[in-house]
Amino acid sequence: MDMQNARGHSPLDLTTEPETKAIILKATKTKACETCKSKFDFKNIRYYCESSRKFFCKNCSTTTWVYEHHEAEDKERPVCRSKAVAKIISDHERELAQAIETINPDDFEIVDKALRKCDGIDIDVKLRHQADILHLKLNHELKIKMFLMQNNHHDDYKEIRKDEKRINEMVEEAQGLDVDLDADLLMMVNEYCSRIITERNLRKQRDLFLDSITSWDDSKVSRLQNLTDIAV
């Protein structure tokens, strides 16, 4: 860091980018490895950990190749990290991968918990992207399932149209985000909508019929019974 070229310029003198200049300044002030405390010199050079933003010696650091983005086919970018940081990242990646592989259709909390643990951790971009997609899918599916459970019965049939509209909006919202909703869940939604609309129509017809009754006779009683039987 203190070496100069033929014109007497140091790396710091030649640096114009503020972030790079800040790293060089920090390097010149760091005299020893963060882990083993060995002093830096001409032979024991500094290795910059991109994750912790600290300096380490060669023995306490490691360089790996990573994907630049989730669509990359090859690992093209070298990344230097301290061995301690590299282990933390590896442990989080393994836990997240296990959460994805062992996930059950209803276990949103497992992936959610594993992803939250990775906040601020520089894990593999492909793995994070895969987890994000699954997390989004499970989140939307959970919301839809909860809605179906909580709105299975309607005391007031006039609220049915609102719930039919809302559940369809939830499906459209997920599909608008390219979420691949489970086929069985979509079938449940269709069956739910069909059932509640049929229920609404029958209950509406029943109320209209009851309002129209001015006297009781066998034909009206029979018609009312038929409507009741269909609803059941």
Q: What is the enclosing helix (H) or strand (E) of 79? A: strand 77-82
Give the pLDDT of residue 199: 86
- Four-point Cα dihedral 181, 184, 188, 191, nearest 10: 120
What are the angstrom distances between the C-alpha of 194 and each of 92, 146, 160, 174, 204?
Answer: 45, 18, 11, 20, 15
Q: What is the enclosing helix (H) or strand (E) of 47? A: strand 47-48
Give the pLDDT of residue 168: 95
**Cβ within 8 Å of residue 47, ≥6 positions away:** 55, 56, 57, 58, 60, 61, 63, 80
If one counts every other C-beta atom within 10 angstroms of the C-beta of residue 85, the result is 20
CB 55 within 8 A of CB 47: yes
Of 2-6, 191-195, 206-210, minimum mean pLDDT range: 2-6
Give the pLDDT of residue 97: 93
Give the pLDDT of residue 10: 55
- Chain-centroid distance, C-alpha 137: 8
